Structure 1
Amino acid sequence: MKIAAIQMNSQDDKDANCAEAERLVRAAAADGATLIVLPEYFACLSASDSLQRESGEPFPQGGIFHRFSALARELKVTLHAGSVVESEGAARYNTTAVFGPTGEVIAKYRKIHLFDVEVPGGITYLESSRVGRGTEIVTYEVDGQKVGCAICYDIRFPELFRKLRDEGCDIIVLPAAFTLQTGKDHWEVLSRARAIETQTYFVACGQVFTHGNGTKACWGHSMVIDPWGSVVAQASDRVGFIVATLDDDYTASVRRNVPVASHHVL
């Protein structure tokens, strides 16, 4: 399976962001990717809580969902559509939708762990003021491979990834808008740790550069990591995409040689 992780610099303008996402998805599909991943909040990444909430659309009726469902169907790819703000009445969620090659919804995941922190540099993030948290662990299948869903801050909670591995996941996908301040120290370390612990291919797909008129910044450095914890592809500091071919036999070899899944005591 050939996978692409798209790295974006989304801003407040939904139409412009979606057009850029579509352009990059088409380019990744033309490069042969059959599973294509967009980053967290690809349709709108705003420093304004009210604008971010207002960007929400109902699932599956919203225009964003229709647009990327049609794109997956046209390109005959599986599109792991990062995350967007999902509206459900007055509630909002940070939601991943995954569309199969015929455009059907094959998974929907609402982010479980919300980013309520003050990061180095005095910048405060209060994601719970924008969205509510999800409660369900979500997986789906592509070409005989089971894929697990997570989003950004989830990466700091290994128990979620243990559950995904227990569900039989071969690949775990994490769209993100990881902050520059934490990303420089934690992004690669945590991503490689999650891959090593779960013995899965780990796809960490991020936003890059600044948003909110330069008031906030994302780390980028989107990566594909193999089940041994080696980085097999990593994005530079630019908008674009990376591609990697996933090797099922290598996953099986790693799990056979170091069978941690059968050694758990707790």
Structure 2
Amino acid sequence: MRVSVIQMNQGSDKAANLDQARRLVEAAIAADRPGLVSLPETWTNLGGGRESRLAAAERLPAPGETGGAAYELLRGLARGHGVHVHGGSIVEAPGSGDDPEKLYNTTVVFDPEGREIARYRKVHMFDMVAPDGTGYRESALYGAGDRLVTFEAGGFTFGCTICFDIRFAEEYVALRRLGAEAVLVPSNFTLQTGKDHWEVLLRARAIETQCWVIAAASSGQYLERGQPRAVYGHSLIADPWGHVVAKASDGPGWATARLDRAILERVRRDMPVMEHRAARPISL
């Protein structure tokens, strides 16, 4: 199965973001004929503050019903081109979860018939201070998800994660135990953390879970309440041995790789790490 990761330079103009996503997805499909395309985290909105995020937010419909502009774009791309579309993540409107005031950072996935087959809310909130002193507090706006999600596509089982989840290895091991053979990591990784941690973390998650890791990311600068911020980009695909087999250049674009089941099976056969994991707590 061929998979393409779409790299965007989105901002706070939702209509422009949707147009950029459509153009890049269609270009990747025309050039590389993937069976699945994956978009970055919150590709419908990056920056602009709370008001911009609320304006971009969509209330996600029950599967089979009509949704908002981004939801319908994803469904239309899947159905129109006969591919699986992993919608990175979009801003889900308040009132959708347990906290009526919170937005959600949510993935939706469509099959080639345009049917929604997966929905995942980001579990780990990005609350930290970057090395340059910039503070981020995702939990001020967003609620956290509380369940793991997998889906089937092209003969593989995919696990869903989003960006900051990558720092929590236990989530990835849990997805492996649920049968994941590939894990998606749509992201807006900051430039400050990305230059040191992005590829290292993705390769580590691939190595320890023996899964393909598929990471579509945002690239370039955007404005947050009038102040410039930068995201790292470098969207990539890593194999179950931890080799980076495809990577996007700077700026909008895409990268494509073929998921090879033989590599997956050989790595897991020759180094059966899941069988070797301790079944009980280790005394120190």
Q: Secondary structure at the match of 1:176?
A: coil
Is 1:258 the counterpart of 2:271? The answer is yes
Q: 1:25-79 CA distances to partner (integer Å, 9 max, x unpaired)?
A: 1111112111100000101111412322332100022221112111110000000
Alignment partner of 1:82 is 2:88: yes
SS across alignment from 1:79: strand
**How many pairs does the alignment contain?**
266
Report the residue type matching 1:129 in the other structure.
Answer: A
1:201 aligns with 2:207: no
Q: Name the SS for the 1:236 alignment partner.
A: coil
Aligned to 1:240: 253
CA–CA separation in structure 2 for the residues paired with 1:79 and 1:113: 23
Is contact 2:182–2:212 with CA below 8 Å preserved after alignment?
yes
2:122 maps to amino acid: K
**Cα distance in 2, alignment partners of residues 59 and 68 from structure 1:** 12
Q: Write the letter of the residue equivalent to 1:62.
A: G
1:36 maps to 37
Give distance in 1, aligned partners of 2:90 and 2:141.
12
User: Aligned runs of 1:111-150 on 2, under 5 Å?
Assistant: 111-150=122-161
Match of 2:2 in 1: 2
Could you say which residue in structure 1 is the equivalent of 2:169? 158
Q: 1:46, 1:197 → 2: CA distance? A: 34
Asked if 2 retains the 8 angstrom alpha-carbon contact of 1:53 and 1:130, the reply is no
Following superposition, the deviation at residue 166 of structure 1 comes to: 0.3
> Does the 8 A contact of 1:180 with 1:219 survive in 2?
yes
Q: For the residues of structure 1 that align with 2:227 and 2:159, how far apart are their CA atoms?
A: 33
2:33 aligned counterpart, secondary structure: coil
Query: Which residue type is aligned with residue 59 of structure 1?
Result: L
Counterparts of 1:247 and 1:111 in 2: how far apart (Å)? 28
Q: Could you give the per-residue CA deviations for residues 123-175 of structure 1, whole angstroms, max 9, x where no partner exists?
A: 01111122111001000000221000000000000000000000111110000
> Scaled by the length of structure 2, what TM-score is found?
0.91
The alpha carbon displacement at 1:176 in A equals 0.1
* Contact 2:35–2:154 (Cα < 8 Å) also in 1: no
User: Of 211, 219, 236, which aligns to 2:232?
Assistant: 219
User: What TM-score results when the alignment is normalised by the length of structure 1?
Assistant: 0.97
Cα separation, 2, equivalents of 1:26 and 1:170: 26
Percent identity between the aligned chains? Answer: 45
Residue identity in the other structure for 2:37? I
Residue 48 of structure 1 corresponds to 49
Gaps (5+ residues) in structure 2? Answer: 62-66, 280-284
Q: How far apart in 1 are the matches of 2:55 and 2:139?
A: 15
Matching residue of 2:192: 181
Structure 1 gaps, min length 5: none
Structure 1 residues 242 and 104, CA gap change in structure 2 (3 angstroms): same
Residue equivalent to 1:17: 17
Distance across 1 between alignment mates of 2:48 and 2:218: 14
Amino acid at match of 1:10: Q
Larger Rg: 2
Once superposed, which parts of structure 1, at least 4 consecutive aligned residues long, lie more than 6 Å away? none
